[in-house]
Amino acid sequence: MTDTVSVKTSAEAPEGAPESAIEIRGLRKVYGASGKSAPKEALTGIDLTIPRGSVFGLLGPNGAGKSTMINIMAGLVRKTEGQVKIWGFDQDVNPRQSRAAIGVMPQELSVDPFFTPREALEVQAGLYGVPPRDRRTDEILELIGLTDKQNAYARTLSGGMRRRLLLGKALVHAPQILVLDEPTAGVDIELRQMLWNNVRELNRQGMTIILTTHYLEEAQEMCDEIAIIDRGTLVIRDSTESILARMDSKTLLVRAAGPVGSVALPEGVTREDRADGWLALGYKRSAMGAGALIAALQAGGVEILDLSTAEPDLEDAFLQLTAHNA
């Protein structure tokens, strides 16, 4: 399988290209508003800007409204209210151009079982009006590692191969923006690595990447900026670094020479005696430093063999920002 392949895209920003890949203002979506069932507001008036050329994380719990937003951006779901611009094209004014600027790799493994990968890419290119002379089927097959399977029926492909084919279909019209909806759900390590290598290369060429994932360590590693949506509302949008910096918690990990009994700790410190022998002390950075905890342990007669500190990660931030009051 090829790790990285350079593929020509139209993602390089031409003169006069918009600074923002996506601009969303006052976006609302209400389901069931005209039916007998009670209306459900999936999106509650979201304002969101996604910079051109970024790798942008769109995160949130199940049912938060992420898929609804993606489908609206792709032109698959009609919004109730608001404005959506894709690569500078207003969906209401230039729907064709806005759809041409974005490619979506869906979460569901929906491929025609009786098409080969080559046929599937050719048909998809035809649907987008790409002339035969401008199609890049061979390049895309190499990119997604399906050159040797190009003439096999899709029904014979493994789940991982089908997911690669979905990526290829999203790229046939050389979009400026690529949306990856849970791209590594249920895939093996090799495919995950191949996917991220190629995403990095596409981004290096200038393509804007929008990623949704439940693997928060991936988002932390890959994304320049992140937006978290919960219950149809934008909770936060900031750089990954800034979101992590907002977290006030920190953990001091201590390995002692023997069991640590009752020790007087500063107020507000949490204690966890872990099965691996480490003592984990949680504290707020704004209230104290690690030195105060070390001094308290030493005052309590604890002989410290080793210690380290652990910073909060994106999972900690996600859980804190999406916590609901009971």
CATH classification at residue 297: 3.30.70
* Domain presence at residue 11: no
DSSP 273-326: E-TTS-EEEEEETTT--HHHHHHHHHHTT--EEEEEEE---HHHHHHHHT----
Q: Are residues 196 and 262 in the same domain?
A: no
DSSP structural state of residue 270:
E
Q: Are residues 174 and 290 in the same domain?
A: no
Q: Which of 168, 310, 161, 184 is nearest to 247 (CA)?
A: 310
| Mean pLDDT within 55-61 | 94
Q: What is the pLDDT of residues 220-252, one digit of tens each?
A: 999 999 999 999 999 999 999 888 888 888 899
* Inter-residue contact 52 to 21 (CB < 8 Å): yes
- Residue-level pLDDT at 35: 61
- Residue-level pLDDT at 184: 85
pLDDT interval class at 4 (50, 70, 90): very low
Interatomic CA distance for residues 112 and 166, integer angstroms? 11
The backbone torsions φ and ψ at residue 86, rounded to the nearest 5 degrees and listed phi first, read -115, 115
* Domain presence at residue 4: no
Based on the structure, what is the number of domains in the chain? 2
* Domain presence at residue 2: no
Read off the pTM. Answer: 0.81
Q: Are residues 222 and 107 in the same domain?
A: yes
DSSP 137-172: HHHHHHHTT-GGGTTS-GGGS-HHHHHHHHHHHHHT
Q: How many CB atoms lie within 10 A of CB 21?
A: 27
Q: List the CATH number of the domain containing 119.
A: 3.40.50.300
* Helix, strand or coil, per DSSP, at residue 192: helix
Range of the domain at 65: 20-244
Residue 36 CB burial class (10 angstroms; 0-12, 13-18, ≥19): exposed
DSSP structural state of residue 77:
S
Q: Are residues 278 and 176 in the same domain?
A: no
* Inter-residue contact 106 to 162 (CB < 8 Å): no
Q: Are residues 50 and 194 in the same domain?
A: yes
Q: What is the pLDDT of residues 22-42, one digit of tens each?
A: 999 999 999 986 666 778 999
Q: Are residues 66 and 208 in the same domain?
A: yes
Q: Are residues 43 and 165 in the same domain?
A: yes
Q: Is the pLDDT of residue 2 over 80?
A: no
CA of residue 77 relative to chain centroid, distance: 20
| Mean pLDDT within 317-321 | 86
Q: Are residues 230 and 267 in the same domain?
A: no
* Domain presence at residue 88: yes
Q: Are residues 179 and 240 in the same domain?
A: yes
pLDDT interval class at 11 (50, 70, 90): very low
Q: What is the pLDDT of residues 252-283, one digit of tens each?
A: 999 999 889 899 999 999 999 998 889 999 99
Q: Are residues 286 and 161 in the same domain?
A: no
